[in-house]
Amino acid sequence: MIREHMKPAIVSFLILTIITGILYPLSVTGIAQALFRERANGSWIYRNGNPIGSLLIGQHFDDPKYLWGRISSTSPVRFNAASSSGSNLGPTNSELIDAVKARIKALKTADPDNTSPIPVDLVTSSASGLDPHISLAAAYYQIPRVARLRGLSQDTVKSIVRTHSYNRFLGLIGEPVVNVLKVNLDLDSYKIDNNMNI
Amino acid sequence: MRKSQKAKSLFNLSIIGPAIIDSLKKLDPRHQIKNPVMFVVLVGSILTTGLYFQALSGHGEAPAGSILAISSWLWFTLIFANFAEAMAEGRGKAQAANLRRTRRDTPAKKLSNPSYGSSYEKVSATTLRKGDVVLVEAGDIIPMDGEVVEGVASVDESAITGESAPVIRESGGDRNAVTGGTRVLSDWLLVRISSNPGETFLDHMIAMVEGAKRQKTPNEIALSILLAVFTIIFLLATITLLPFSVYSVISAGHGERVTVTVLVALLVCLIPTTIGGLLPAIGIAGMDRMVQANVVATSGRAVEAAGDVDVLLLDKTGTITLGNRQAVAFIPNQDVNIKSLADAAQIASLSDETPEGRSIVVLAKKKYGIRERHIHELDAKFIPFTAQTRMSGVDLGDGRQIRKGSAEAIEDYVKKFGGSFSDDLKSNIEMISKNGGTPLVVAEHKHVLGVIQLKDIVKGGIRERFAELRRMGIKTIMITGDNPLTAAAIAAEAGMDDFLAQATPETKLKLIREMQSGGRLVAMTGDGTNDAPALAQADVAVAMNTGTQAAKEAGNMVDLDSNPTKLIEIVKIGKQLLMTRGSLTTFSIANDVSKYFAIIPAAFVGTYPSLKALNIMHLATPSSAVLSAVIFNALIIIFLIPLALRGVPYKPMTANRFLRNNLLVYGVGGIVAPFIGIKLIDMILAALRLVQ
Amino acid sequence: MNWNNVIQGLIFLATVILLAKPLGIYMARVYEGKPAGLNVLLGPVERWIYRLSGIHPETSMSWKGYAVAMLLFNSIGIVVVYALQRLQAHLPLNPMSMSGVTPDLAFNTAVSFATNTNWQSYGGETTLSYLTQMVGLTVQNFLSAATGMAVLVALIRGFIQKKVETIGNFWVDLVRSTLYILIPLSLILSIILVSQGVVQTFKPYEKVTLLQPVKNDNGTVVQEQVLALGPAASQVAIKQLGTNGGGFFNVNSSHPFENPTPLSNFLEVISIILIPAALCYTLGYMVRDKRQGWALLAAMLIIFIPCLWSCIYFEQQGNPLFNSLGIDQKATAFQPGGNMEGKEARFGIVNSAIWAVATTAASNGSVNSMHDSYMPLGGLIPMWLMQLGEVVFGGVGSGLYGMIAFAIIAVFIAGLMIGRTPEYLGKKIEAYEMKMASLMILIPPALVLAGTAVSVSLHQAKVSIFNPGPQGFSEVLYAFSSAGNNNGSAFGGLSANTPFYNIALGLAMFFARYWLAIPILAVAGSLSRKKIVPVSQGTLPTHTPLFIIFLIMVVLIVGALTFFPALVLGPIVEHLMLHHS
C-alpha cells in the first residue's frame, strides 16, 4: 500500500510546493508591487528624502517635548522592529505593577501639573512592542505638556494630533487612534516652520 | 413463571438475604475486573484502606479517622453495586428454581424402534441424545424437547406457559412440537428427541433468567466503551491533580499538597459509578421482564434489536382476523326468494361443524327466523367437504340435493346438470371479493340460489394495537394468501399500513430482504414450518409456542402465550432496556458537576484560601464536604436499584419529545439532585458532629 | 458592555454567517466534482497534476489506503520543513543570513506546521529565512489545511455512500482543496492585505534613522531602527484562512506589518472562522439535508457567542490592581479603556477579544494581542475553547470532524435515552464508531493533562515559566492545551524554545493530529459500508433545537469536567485572589 502511494506522494508534494511555495508568493509579490508598491515595501515616511521610519512601526519617545507612545517590551532596545515582542506580564504579576508605576512616575515627572487620570493605554505595553498608535485620550492627556515645552498653543498641538488621528473604519470597526511618529514629525517641522517665519 | 410474580414486591426478603451475602462474595477482584468502572473503585478502596493502616502507624497523610470514613464508604459503594446485581440475579434465580423443579430427573421410555408397540427400556432423561425416540404415555412427563412422530395426545404445558388448559399435540402438521417438562394427560405420543441435554428450551430459559449465559449486547458494548473512556479521563484528571497540587503549594508558598485519600474520593465520585454499578442489574432485569412477559429470547441481542424494529410482518389468519370467517349476508339470485336461499343455506350447513358452517346457521336464524332443525328429522345425508369436490352439502330424503362451495366448484357442479351462472350472479361474486369477503355459492341441483357472503372478522382491539405501533414508529404489514382485493380490504379495516397478498414462503423472504436492504429492521411473528425461512431472515423473529419445532428454531424468541401482538410488549421491553441505561448514564455524568463543587474547594482551600468562594453549597468543613460527596455517591446506587430493576417507563411519543422529557428528569435532575443530597448529608454529619 | 463592543461583535458574527452559505455551496460543488466557477482556469492544472504524479482520480481508496496516503504525504512535509530549517544557511533567499535552526526547534516547527497547529516556538523575523517561510511554512499552511479538509470530505462520504468499501481518493480531495479553495481565497485576501500595508517584498530588512535616539538595555545610545520585512502578506493570508496561525513575525498578527489597520484586522479575523463555518454548510449540502449543517453551525455559535461576550466583558473590566494608581480604564469615545496590557491601540478591547476567542475556537492560534496578559477569566476562555477539543469551528476540516465525533457520542446517549439504537445522518452508530469517537475525545485531554503534569514536576520545564503564581501554572496548561488540540496559540510568557518543550509539545501536536485523523477515517470506512437507514417516526431528529442543546451539553460537560480542577488551580483561583483579597 505504501509503495503504490509513494510516487503520487512525492511528485504531488513537489508540484504543490512549487505552486503554493513559489508561484503563489511570487504572483502576490508581483501584483502587490504593481498595485501597492509603497505599502508592500513597508509604508515608509521620508524626511528630506531620507526614510525616517514606517507609518506602521512605532518609535520610542521619552523626551517630554514629544508625544509618547505605548510602552514597548522589545529587547535589547525598545521598539526593536527586528525582534517584535510583548511584555507577556500577567495581570497579577508585580513586575507589571512596577512597570506601570514607573511609567506613571515618568509622566508625572515630565508634567507634574497634570492631575487628570492617565489613559490606560499610555501606561501599558503593546502586544507587538511596535504599536505606532495611542488612543485619542492618551494623546489629549499629553497635549498640555507638549504645548508647554514647545511653546505652542494647545490648540495648535491639538490640530496636529487631529490631523494624524484615524477614526474607526466606516465609523464602526477598530478604535480611533493617533499616529505618534507622524505627530512628532509634524511637531518638529512645525517648530522649523515657525523659526523660519521669525 | 406465573404472572402473579410481577406483583411481587421488588424487595422480597427471601431474595435480599442471599443478595447481601452475594454482594460480599462479588468483591472478588476476578469478578470486579469485568466492570472497569467498579474495578477502579475496588483499587481505590484497597488503596485508602492501606493509607488508613499507614495512618494508624503514625505516618499517615491525614488523621486515621477521616481516612477510615472515606475508605469505608468506598467499600460500601462497591457492596451497593454488587447488591444491585445480586438482587437482579436473585429474582432470576427464584424463577430458575421454579423452572428447575419441573426438570426433576424424569425417567424416559427409550424405544428400540421408532414405532408404537416396539420394546423400550427405561432410562434417565439425561442419557437421551438427539434423534432418540421415546414413548410418552398418559401421566408421563415428556423427558426432553422433541417432535411427535406418531400419536395424538392432550398435553398439560402449564409448567412452561402458565396456561392451564391442555393442548393437543399430534404428529405432522403444525402442532408436533413438545417441550421437555410438560405432562401428557391422555393417550400416547412417540417423540423424537430434538436436543441434547443442556440445550433444551428449559435450559435456555433457566440460563437466561440466571444470567449465566448473558452475552453483552452491541449497545451494551458501546456503552461500556464510553464508560471506560469517561473513567480514563477522570483517572487522568485526578491523578494529574497531585503534581498540579505540588506545584501550586510551591508557587503559593504555603498549604499542603492534596492527600491521596481525597484524590481517590474525587475519582470515585467522578467516574460513572451509578451507571457502572447498576449496568449488570439493568441487563439482568431486562431479561427478567421478558420472562415475565412469557417470552423466551435466545439472546439479549434480539431483545435489544426489538427496540429498533421499524417494520412488523404479521400473518393475517389468527393474528389480525379470527381464525375463521363468518357469514354476514345472503344474496339471492333475481328469481329466488331470500328466505328460500337462507333456508337452503341453513340445511346445507346443518352438519357442517366448521365455524363457517355454524355461522351460516346462526345468520339464517338471526336474520330470517329460520329455526334450527336437526339433520335427522330431515332424513338427510350429509355430504362432507373434500379437497376434490371443494364443496359440501346435503342430499335430502325428498331427493333435493343442496350444495354450497366456492364459485368455481359450484359452477362445475351445476354445469354437470346443464345449469349456468347468470351475469348477475357473477357480478355479485366479484363484488363480495372486492369487499374483502369470500363468496360461497349455494345451488340446488342445477339451480343456483344465490351467494353467501363470508367475511373475515378482524379481532377486537387490534386496530388500537396497530395505532400504538404506529406511534412507536413501527410500520405494520399484513401477510396473507388472499387475493390483493380481499387483502387490501382487510388491511384497511384492521388499520395496517401495507399488505403482502398471495404470499408464498418465497415472496415473504423476498419482502423481508427488500426491507432490510432498504435499511429497515424487520420483525415477524410466525408459527408454521413454511414461516421458518422468513423467520430466519427477519431481525426479530417471534415464534409461537404452539408452532412447529422448525419455526421455533428459526426464530430468536418464542412467545409462550402464542400471542402475535406480544411484539408490542417485546418492543417496549427492548426500548426500556436501552432507556434505563441511557438515562442512568446521563444522570451519572450530570452528578459530577455538584461533586466538583463539593470536593475541589475542599481539596485546595489549604493552598489557596480564596477557593472558599467556590464552596457554593456552604458545606461545613473540607473533610465533611469530601465525605458527604462520597456518601451521596454510594447511597444513590441503593436509591436507584428499583429504577434499574423496573426500568424507565416507556410511552409511545415522538423521539424528540421523549428525549426532552428524559433529559429534564435525568439530565437536569442529575445536576440538581446531588446538590441537595450532598448538602443534606453534610448537614446531618455536622449535626451529629461526625466530622471535624 | 458598551455599544461599540456590541456593534463590532455583531458585525463580525453577521459577516461570518452571511459568508458561510455561498462559500459552503462552492466547496460542496468542488468536492462533488461539479462545475464551481473556476474549472475552466484550474481544471487543466488539476488534470496536469494528476497526470504528472501518476494519480488516478477516479480510483477510490479504502480507509486504510486513504490513511496511508495521508500519513505518507504529511511525513514528506515534516521531513522537508525540517531539512529546510536545518539547511537554510546554505540555501538561497536568506538575505539576513539566518543560521541553521537547532534540531529540536526544527522538529517542533516541522511537526507544528504539518499538523496544522502552527505553534510558534521560533521567532519569525529572528530565526527563519525567506525561503524557509515560503517553501517550508507557507506550503505547509496550504497542505496541512487541505489535509484536514480532505479527511472531513472522506468522512462526509461515509454518510452519503452506502455499502461500499472505499471513501474517496485522498490526492483528489487534497489537490481540489488546495487549488480551488485555498489558493483563490488566499490570493484575494493577500492583495487586500497589501493594500492595507502588510509587507510583501523580497528585500532585506531596512534601516532608518530614529527621530529620537534611544538607549538600549546596556545604556548604549541607538540611532537606528532596523525594520524586519519579507513576503508576509502571502503567508498571512493562508495562515488565517487555513486555521494555521503561525505568524510571519514573532508577535504574529499584532505586528503592524502583519495586521496594520482595523480593516486588515477585520478581514483576518473573519478568515479565521470563515472556512470552518462554511464547511458546516458544505456538510449539509453534501448529505442533502441542509438543516444538519445549520444545526452543527448553530451548536458552534451557541458555544462561541457567550464565550465571546464573556471575554470582551472581562477584558473591558480592566485590572483592579490599577484602580488605586490613578489610571483611567473606562471606555469612552476617546479610548477603549479596559485591560490594555498586551493589546494594540488600533484594536482596543473588542477586536482583541474577538480575535482571541475566534483564534482559539477555531484552531488557528494566531494572535493580535498577548493572551498571557489577559485578565484571569479573559484568558480562561481562549484556553477552555481549546480544551473543548477544537470543535467550536476548530481547524479547517478537523474542527467539523471533531464536532461530528461529539455528535456521534451525543446521538448514542440520546438514542439510549429514547430506547433506540442511535443513527446519525442515516447511519447506525454502533460499537465500532463509539470506540473511534471515544478515542477522539480521550486523546487530546490525555495529552494536555499528562503533558502539563510532567512539565510542572520537572525542574528544566519549570524554569521556562515566566509569570509567578497560578498564572505560571496557566502558562504551562495553556501550552499543552494548545499543542494537544492542534491550536498553536500561546501564553507567550512561557519560554517554550527549549529542548524539553520543543520535543514534548512536538509529540503532543503529532499525536493530537494523527491519532484523531486516523480514527475518523476508520469511522468513514465503517460508515461507508453501512446501509442508509430511512427516517421513520422513531428516528431522533438531529437538526432540532433540542438535539443542538444536547450536543452542546455533551461538548461542554466533557470539556468542563475534564479540565475544571486544572482550571481552578490556574485562572479561576487567580481571579478569586484578584477580586477577593
- Please tell me if residue B236 touches chain C, with a CB cutoff of 8 Å: yes
The rounded distance, in Å, linking the Cα atoms of A72 and A54 is 16
Strand partners, B183: B141, B156
Of A101-105, B559-563, C83-87, C328-332, the least confident:
B559-563
Residue B580 has pLDDT above 90, yes or no: yes
Residue C244 confidence (pLDDT):
92
Whose cell is 446521538? That residue is C411
The rounded distance, in Å, linking the Cα atoms of A48 and C457 is 59
Query: Which of B248, B579, B586 is the closest to C473 by Cβ?
Result: B248
Of A146-160, B338-352, B364-378, C400-414, the least confident:
B364-378
Smallest CA–CA separation between C199 and chain A, in Å?
4
Question: pLDDT tens-digit profile of B519-539?
Answer: 788 998 887 777 888 888 888
Collect all residues with Cβ–Cβ distance below 8 Å to A60 and sequence separation of at least 6. Answer: A69, A72, A77, A78, A79, C210, C212, C214
Closest CA to C125 of C194, C214, C227: C227
Question: pLDDT tens-digit profile of C503-557?
Answer: 999 999 999 999 999 999 999 999 999 989 888 777 889 999 999 999 999 999 8
Residue C123 confidence (pLDDT):
77
Closest CA to C109 of C506, C424, C379, C389: C506
Contact between A125 and C183 using a beta-carbon 8 Å cutoff:
no
Closest CA to C244 of C91, C124, C69, C405: C124
Query: Which of C190, C195, C319 is the closest to A91 by Cβ?
Result: C319
Q: What is the mean pLDDT of residues C53-79?
A: 95
More confident residue, B324 or B90: B90
Residue B1 has pLDDT above 80, yes or no: no
Cα C564 from chain centroid? 23
**Is B315 a known active-site residue?**
yes
Question: pLDDT tens-digit profile of B274-297?
Answer: 999 998 888 888 878 887 888 887
> Of these residues, B140, B156, B288, B315, which one is catalytic?
B315
Residue A193 confidence (pLDDT):
55
pTM of the model: 0.88
Question: pLDDT tens-digit profile of C399-423?
Answer: 999 999 999 999 999 999 988 888 8
Residue B255 confidence (pLDDT):
87
The rounded distance, in Å, linking the Cα atoms of B234 and B37 is 11
Question: In whole numbers, what is the pLDDT of chain B averaged over residues?
Answer: 84
Q: Measured on CA atoms in the order C199, C203, C208, C214, is the torsion positive or negative? A: positive
Question: pLDDT tens-digit profile of C544-580?
Answer: 999 999 999 999 988 888 999 999 999 999 999 998 7
Query: Which of C441, C540, C561 is the closest to B659 by Cβ?
Result: C540
Contact between C346 and A175 using a beta-carbon 8 Å cutoff:
yes
The amino acid occupying position B445 is H
- Count of A-C CB contacts under 8 Å: 413
Residue B61 confidence (pLDDT):
86
Whose cell is 539576513? That residue is C96
Taking the CB of residue A112, how many other CB atoms lie within 10 A of it? 9
Residue B547 confidence (pLDDT):
73
Residue B475 has pLDDT above 50, yes or no: yes
Question: In whole numbers, what is the pLDDT of chain C averaged over residues?
Answer: 93
If pLDDT is split at 50, 70 and 90, which confidence band does B316 have?
Answer: confident
Closest CA to C149 of C387, C394, C508: C394
DSSP B642-674: HHHHH--------HHHHHHHHIIIIIIHHHHHH
CA closest to C423 among chain B residues: B308
Residue B391 has pLDDT above 90, yes or no: no
The rounded distance, in Å, linking the Cα atoms of A73 and C461 is 24
- Please tell me if residue C544 touches chain B, with a CB cutoff of 8 Å: yes
If pLDDT is split at 50, 70 and 90, which confidence band does B216 have?
Answer: confident
Surface of C (241-260) touching A: CB under 8 A: 249-251, 254-257, 260
CB of C404 closer than 8 Å to CB of C517:
no
Residue C422 per-residue DSSP state:
-
CA closest to C461 among chain B residues: B247
CA closest to B309 among chain C residues: C420
Collect all residues with Cβ–Cβ distance below 8 Å to B653 and sequence separation of at least 6. Answer: B471
CA closest to A99 among chain C residues: C341
Residue B211 confidence (pLDDT):
59
Residue C166 per-residue DSSP state:
B
Distance set, CA C456 to CA C171, C467, C470 (Å): 42, 14, 12
CB of C429 closer than 8 Å to CB of C183:
no
| Phi/psi of residue B136, nearest 5 degrees | -125, 125
Chains C and B touch (3+ CB pairs under 8 A): yes
Smallest CA–CA separation between C159 and chain A, in Å?
25
Question: pLDDT tens-digit profile of C120-177?
Answer: 888 777 888 999 999 999 999 999 999 999 999 999 999 999 999 999 999 999 999 9
Contact between C569 and B248 using a beta-carbon 8 Å cutoff:
yes
If pLDDT is split at 50, 70 and 90, which confidence band does B212 have?
Answer: very low
Whose cell is 481518493? That residue is C169
Distance set, CA B298 to CA B290, B303, B314, C420 (Å): 11, 9, 21, 20
- Please tell me if residue A138 touches chain C, with a CB cutoff of 8 Å: yes
CB of B551 closer than 8 Å to CB of B532:
yes
Surface of C (419-448) touching B: CB under 8 A: 419-421, 426, 429-431, 434-435, 438-439, 441-442, 445-446
| Phi/psi of residue B183, nearest 5 degrees | -115, 135
Residue C268 confidence (pLDDT):
97
Q: Which residues of C touch B588 (CB under 8 A)?
A: none
Closest CA to B476 of B325, B322, B319, B324: B319
- Please tell me if residue A65 touches chain C, with a CB cutoff of 8 Å: no
Contact between A119 and C335 using a beta-carbon 8 Å cutoff:
yes
Of B346-360, B404-418, B501-515, C31-45, the least confident:
B346-360
Strand partners, C500: none
CB of B348 closer than 8 Å to CB of B370:
no
Question: pLDDT tens-digit profile of B137-174?
Answer: 888 888 888 888 888 888 887 766 666 667 778 877 66
Residue B6 confidence (pLDDT):
42
Residue C505: is it exposed, middle or buried by C-beta count within 10 angstroms (0-12/13-18/19+)? buried
Q: How many helices (H) and strands (E) are present in chain B, helices listed first?
A: 25, 21
Residue C89 confidence (pLDDT):
92
Share of chain B above pLDDT 90, in %: 26
- Count of B-C CB contacts under 8 Å: 217
The amino acid occupying position C95 is P
Helix, strand, coil content of chain B in percent (nearest 5): 55, 15, 30
Residue B439 confidence (pLDDT):
85
Q: Which residues of B touch C462 (CB under 8 A)?
A: 247
Q: Is C437 helix (H, G, I), strand (E, B) or coil?
A: helix
Q: Is C215 helix (H, G, I), strand (E, B) or coil?
A: strand
Residue B215 confidence (pLDDT):
66
Q: What is the mean pLDDT of each run of 10 residues along chain A (198 residues)?
A: 89 96 96 96 91 94 95 92 92 94 95 94 96 96 95 94 93 94 93 50
The rounded distance, in Å, linking the Cα atoms of A115 and C164 is 77
Residue B425 has pLDDT above 90, yes or no: no
The rounded distance, in Å, linking the Cα atoms of B190 and B533 is 27
Distance set, CA A98 to CA A105, B332, B377, C344 (Å): 10, 115, 127, 20
- Please tell me if residue B593 touches chain C, with a CB cutoff of 8 Å: yes
Q: Which residues of C touch A41 (CB under 8 A)?
A: 199, 201, 203, 229
Residue A41 confidence (pLDDT):
94
Residue C455 confidence (pLDDT):
95
Query: Cell digits for C404?
Result: 461530528
If pLDDT is split at 50, 70 and 90, which confidence band does B318 have?
Answer: low
- Please tell me if residue A137 touches chain C, with a CB cutoff of 8 Å: yes
CA closest to C409 among chain B residues: B226
Residue C532 per-residue DSSP state:
P
| Mutation target among B223, B226, B600 for the C interface, most CBs of C within 10 A | B226
Give the up-direction half-sphere exposure of residue B491: CA atoms within 13 A in the CB hemisphere: 24
Contact between B238 and C426 using a beta-carbon 8 Å cutoff:
no
Whether the bond between B36 and the residue before it is cis, its omega within 30 degrees of 0, is: no
Cα B551 from chain centroid? 17
- B: neighbours with 3+ CB pairs under 8 Å? C
Residue C469 has pLDDT above 80, yes or no: yes
More confident residue, A148 or B547: A148
Question: pLDDT tens-digit profile of C1-29?
Answer: 588 889 999 999 999 999 999 999 999 99
